[in-house]
Amino acid sequence: MIKAVHIEDEPRNIELLETMIQQHCADDVTLIGNAKNIPDAIKLINRLKPDLVYLDIELNKGNAFELLDQLPDIDFQVIFITAYNEYAVKAFRHNAVDYLLKPISIAELQEATAKAIVKINSLSVNTDILKVLKDLKSNFSHNKIGLPVTDGVIFINKDEIVSCEAKGSYTLVSLENKKKITCSKTLKELEQLLPESNFIRVHNSWVINTQFLKKYYKGKNSYMEMEDGSTVAISFRKKGEILSFLKHLE
Protein backbone atom coordinates (compact mmCIF):
# COMPACT_ATOMS: atom_id res chain seq x y z
CA MET A 1 0.00 0.00 0.00
CA ILE A 2 1.31 3.45 -0.99
CA LYS A 3 1.56 5.95 1.88
CA ALA A 4 0.49 9.46 0.94
CA VAL A 5 0.15 12.87 2.56
CA HIS A 6 -1.78 15.93 1.42
CA ILE A 7 -0.43 19.50 1.69
CA GLU A 8 -3.24 22.04 1.32
CA ASP A 9 -4.35 25.15 3.24
CA GLU A 10 -8.08 25.04 2.46
CA PRO A 11 -10.02 22.73 4.85
CA ARG A 12 -12.78 22.00 2.34
CA ASN A 13 -10.20 20.94 -0.27
CA ILE A 14 -8.48 18.67 2.26
CA GLU A 15 -11.77 16.95 3.00
CA LEU A 16 -12.70 16.73 -0.69
CA LEU A 17 -9.46 15.05 -1.79
CA GLU A 18 -9.52 12.68 1.18
CA THR A 19 -13.04 11.58 0.25
CA MET A 20 -12.10 11.15 -3.42
CA ILE A 21 -9.07 9.01 -2.55
CA GLN A 22 -11.05 6.87 -0.10
CA GLN A 23 -13.78 6.25 -2.65
CA HIS A 24 -11.73 5.86 -5.82
CA CYS A 25 -8.08 5.08 -4.97
CA ALA A 26 -8.32 3.21 -1.65
CA ASP A 27 -7.06 -0.08 -3.10
CA ASP A 28 -3.68 1.48 -3.83
CA VAL A 29 -3.22 4.57 -1.62
CA THR A 30 -3.79 5.39 2.02
CA LEU A 31 -3.64 8.97 3.31
CA ILE A 32 -1.62 9.06 6.52
CA GLY A 33 -1.58 12.82 7.22
CA ASN A 34 -2.05 16.37 6.01
CA ALA A 35 -0.59 19.81 6.66
CA LYS A 36 -1.74 23.35 5.91
CA ASN A 37 1.51 25.33 5.82
CA ILE A 38 5.19 24.96 4.99
CA PRO A 39 6.64 24.42 8.52
CA ASP A 40 4.03 21.77 9.36
CA ALA A 41 4.47 20.14 5.95
CA ILE A 42 8.23 19.79 6.45
CA LYS A 43 7.72 18.18 9.87
CA LEU A 44 5.04 15.87 8.49
CA ILE A 45 7.12 14.68 5.54
CA ASN A 46 10.26 14.17 7.65
CA ARG A 47 8.28 12.26 10.29
CA LEU A 48 6.05 10.05 8.14
CA LYS A 49 8.35 9.48 5.13
CA PRO A 50 5.52 9.23 2.58
CA ASP A 51 5.84 7.59 -0.82
CA LEU A 52 3.57 10.15 -2.43
CA VAL A 53 2.69 13.80 -1.73
CA TYR A 54 -0.41 15.53 -3.09
CA LEU A 55 0.88 19.09 -3.06
CA ASP A 56 -1.16 22.24 -3.66
CA ILE A 57 0.88 25.00 -5.32
CA GLU A 58 -0.45 28.00 -3.38
CA LEU A 59 0.03 27.63 0.39
CA ASN A 60 -0.52 29.97 3.28
CA LYS A 61 2.52 32.32 3.40
CA GLY A 62 4.34 30.51 0.62
CA ASN A 63 4.12 28.00 -2.21
CA ALA A 64 5.02 24.45 -3.11
CA PHE A 65 8.40 25.37 -4.57
CA GLU A 66 9.50 27.09 -1.36
CA LEU A 67 8.49 23.93 0.53
CA LEU A 68 10.45 21.59 -1.75
CA ASP A 69 13.48 23.90 -1.59
CA GLN A 70 13.64 23.36 2.19
CA LEU A 71 13.69 19.56 2.03
CA PRO A 72 17.15 17.96 1.94
CA ASP A 73 15.94 15.10 -0.27
CA ILE A 74 12.90 14.62 -2.47
CA ASP A 75 12.68 10.84 -2.14
CA PHE A 76 8.96 10.68 -2.87
CA GLN A 77 6.71 11.29 -5.85
CA VAL A 78 4.68 14.49 -6.08
CA ILE A 79 1.32 15.18 -7.66
CA PHE A 80 0.92 18.95 -7.90
CA ILE A 81 -2.55 20.40 -7.47
CA THR A 82 -2.92 23.67 -9.30
CA ALA A 83 -5.21 26.32 -10.70
CA TYR A 84 -2.37 27.63 -12.88
CA ASN A 85 -2.78 29.27 -16.22
CA GLU A 86 -1.67 27.44 -19.34
CA TYR A 87 2.04 28.42 -19.34
CA ALA A 88 2.67 26.58 -16.11
CA VAL A 89 0.64 23.54 -17.10
CA LYS A 90 2.85 23.25 -20.20
CA ALA A 91 5.90 23.26 -17.93
CA PHE A 92 4.47 20.37 -15.92
CA ARG A 93 3.71 18.40 -19.08
CA HIS A 94 7.14 19.11 -20.56
CA ASN A 95 8.86 17.71 -17.48
CA ALA A 96 6.54 14.69 -17.18
CA VAL A 97 5.42 15.65 -13.68
CA ASP A 98 1.95 14.60 -12.62
CA TYR A 99 -0.47 17.36 -11.78
CA LEU A 100 -4.17 17.86 -11.09
CA LEU A 101 -5.93 20.93 -12.41
CA LYS A 102 -8.67 22.34 -10.19
CA PRO A 103 -11.49 21.44 -9.99
CA ILE A 104 -10.15 17.89 -9.65
CA SER A 105 -11.91 15.18 -11.64
CA ILE A 106 -12.07 11.57 -10.48
CA ALA A 107 -10.61 10.25 -13.72
CA GLU A 108 -7.61 12.62 -13.59
CA LEU A 109 -7.00 11.80 -9.92
CA GLN A 110 -6.97 8.08 -10.69
CA GLU A 111 -4.70 8.54 -13.72
CA ALA A 112 -2.16 10.76 -11.92
CA THR A 113 -2.13 8.46 -8.89
CA ALA A 114 -1.59 5.40 -11.08
CA LYS A 115 1.36 7.06 -12.83
CA ALA A 116 2.91 7.99 -9.49
CA ILE A 117 2.52 4.44 -8.21
CA VAL A 118 4.33 3.06 -11.26
CA LYS A 119 7.24 5.42 -10.57
CA ILE A 120 7.29 4.47 -6.88
CA ASN A 121 7.28 0.76 -7.62
CA SER A 122 10.08 1.16 -10.16
CA LEU A 123 12.17 2.94 -7.51
CA SER A 124 12.88 5.76 -9.93
CA VAL A 125 14.56 8.88 -8.58
CA ASN A 126 12.27 11.89 -8.72
CA THR A 127 14.42 14.22 -10.79
CA ASP A 128 11.43 15.64 -12.68
CA ILE A 129 10.50 17.89 -9.76
CA LEU A 130 13.93 19.52 -9.82
CA LYS A 131 13.39 20.37 -13.48
CA VAL A 132 10.04 21.97 -12.68
CA LEU A 133 11.60 24.00 -9.89
CA LYS A 134 14.23 25.31 -12.28
CA ASP A 135 11.66 26.18 -14.95
CA LEU A 136 9.08 27.83 -12.71
CA LYS A 137 10.89 29.19 -9.69
CA SER A 138 11.60 32.53 -11.34
CA ASN A 139 7.85 33.13 -11.52
CA PHE A 140 7.58 32.96 -7.75
CA SER A 141 9.89 35.71 -6.61
CA HIS A 142 9.23 37.27 -3.23
CA ASN A 143 7.56 40.21 -4.97
CA LYS A 144 4.98 38.02 -6.70
CA ILE A 145 1.63 37.07 -5.27
CA GLY A 146 -0.98 34.70 -6.67
CA LEU A 147 -4.59 35.86 -6.48
CA PRO A 148 -7.04 32.95 -6.85
CA VAL A 149 -9.97 33.95 -9.06
CA THR A 150 -12.92 32.11 -10.58
CA ASP A 151 -11.06 30.69 -13.57
CA GLY A 152 -7.54 30.28 -12.15
CA VAL A 153 -4.81 32.30 -10.44
CA ILE A 154 -3.61 35.77 -11.45
CA PHE A 155 0.02 36.57 -10.61
CA ILE A 156 0.90 40.20 -9.95
CA ASN A 157 3.66 42.19 -8.28
CA LYS A 158 2.80 43.12 -4.72
CA ASP A 159 3.85 46.71 -5.34
CA GLU A 160 1.08 47.02 -7.97
CA ILE A 161 -1.56 46.73 -5.25
CA VAL A 162 -3.10 50.03 -4.13
CA SER A 163 -5.70 48.69 -1.70
CA CYS A 164 -7.64 45.60 -0.67
CA GLU A 165 -11.28 45.76 0.38
CA ALA A 166 -13.14 42.95 2.17
CA LYS A 167 -16.21 41.68 0.36
CA GLY A 168 -17.48 38.89 2.61
CA SER A 169 -15.35 35.79 1.96
CA TYR A 170 -13.77 37.56 -1.05
CA THR A 171 -11.43 40.54 -1.42
CA LEU A 172 -11.55 43.29 -4.03
CA VAL A 173 -7.95 44.12 -4.98
CA SER A 174 -7.37 47.52 -6.64
CA LEU A 175 -4.23 47.84 -8.78
CA GLU A 176 -2.08 50.77 -9.85
CA ASN A 177 -3.49 50.59 -13.39
CA LYS A 178 -7.00 50.98 -11.86
CA LYS A 179 -7.88 47.38 -12.65
CA LYS A 180 -9.84 45.56 -9.93
CA ILE A 181 -9.56 41.85 -9.19
CA THR A 182 -12.04 39.87 -7.12
CA CYS A 183 -9.88 37.41 -5.19
CA SER A 184 -11.30 34.33 -3.44
CA LYS A 185 -9.13 34.83 -0.36
CA THR A 186 -10.44 36.70 2.67
CA LEU A 187 -8.87 40.05 3.55
CA LYS A 188 -7.21 38.44 6.58
CA GLU A 189 -5.66 35.68 4.45
CA LEU A 190 -4.43 38.19 1.87
CA GLU A 191 -3.04 40.55 4.51
CA GLN A 192 -0.81 37.75 5.83
CA LEU A 193 0.83 37.48 2.39
CA LEU A 194 1.63 41.20 2.09
CA PRO A 195 4.76 42.86 3.55
CA GLU A 196 4.11 44.81 6.76
CA SER A 197 6.62 47.44 5.64
CA ASN A 198 4.23 48.76 2.97
CA PHE A 199 0.79 47.44 3.80
CA ILE A 200 -1.29 48.48 6.78
CA ARG A 201 -4.80 47.65 8.00
CA VAL A 202 -6.72 50.93 8.40
CA HIS A 203 -10.20 49.49 8.83
CA ASN A 204 -11.89 46.17 9.43
CA SER A 205 -12.58 46.11 5.68
CA TRP A 206 -9.48 47.82 4.27
CA VAL A 207 -5.76 47.24 3.82
CA ILE A 208 -3.80 49.89 1.93
CA ASN A 209 -0.38 50.13 0.31
CA THR A 210 1.23 53.21 1.88
CA GLN A 211 3.30 53.74 -1.27
CA PHE A 212 0.09 54.99 -2.91
CA LEU A 213 -1.09 57.15 -0.01
CA LYS A 214 -1.82 60.70 -1.23
CA LYS A 215 -3.47 62.50 1.70
CA TYR A 216 -4.77 61.92 5.20
CA TYR A 217 -7.94 63.79 6.15
CA LYS A 218 -8.26 64.30 9.88
CA GLY A 219 -11.45 64.80 11.84
CA LYS A 220 -14.12 62.69 13.53
CA ASN A 221 -14.65 60.66 10.35
CA SER A 222 -11.05 60.60 9.17
CA TYR A 223 -10.14 58.94 5.90
CA MET A 224 -7.33 58.55 3.40
CA GLU A 225 -7.09 59.47 -0.25
CA MET A 226 -5.05 57.18 -2.50
CA GLU A 227 -3.08 58.07 -5.63
CA ASP A 228 -5.75 56.49 -7.84
CA GLY A 229 -8.37 58.92 -6.46
CA SER A 230 -10.13 56.39 -4.23
CA THR A 231 -10.87 57.11 -0.58
CA VAL A 232 -10.52 54.68 2.31
CA ALA A 233 -12.23 55.02 5.69
CA ILE A 234 -10.20 54.79 8.91
CA SER A 235 -11.84 53.03 11.82
CA PHE A 236 -11.87 54.71 15.24
CA ARG A 237 -10.10 51.69 16.72
CA LYS A 238 -7.26 51.99 14.18
CA LYS A 239 -6.92 55.78 14.30
CA GLY A 240 -4.20 55.94 16.95
CA GLU A 241 -2.13 53.29 15.20
CA ILE A 242 -2.48 55.10 11.87
CA LEU A 243 -1.47 58.49 13.31
CA SER A 244 1.58 56.90 14.91
CA PHE A 245 2.49 55.31 11.60
CA LEU A 246 2.06 58.60 9.68
CA LYS A 247 4.43 60.41 12.05
CA HIS A 248 7.21 58.12 10.89
CA LEU A 249 6.57 59.25 7.30
CA GLU A 250 6.94 62.95 8.07
How confident is the prediction for the chain on average, in pLDDT?
84
* pLDDT tens digits, one per residue of 43-85: 999 999 999 999 988 787 777 878 888 888 888 998 988 876 5
Distances (CA, A) of 131 to 18, 21, 72, 101: 28, 27, 16, 19
pLDDT at 248: 57
What pLDDT does 62 receive? 76
Domains of the chain: 2-140 (3.40.50.2300), 156-247 (2.40.50.1020)
Q: Which residues of the chain have pLDDT under 50?
A: 87, 140-141
Q: Count the neighbouring beta carbons within 10 Å of the beta carbon of residue 2.
A: 19
Q: Looking at residue 29, what is its pLDDT? A: 96
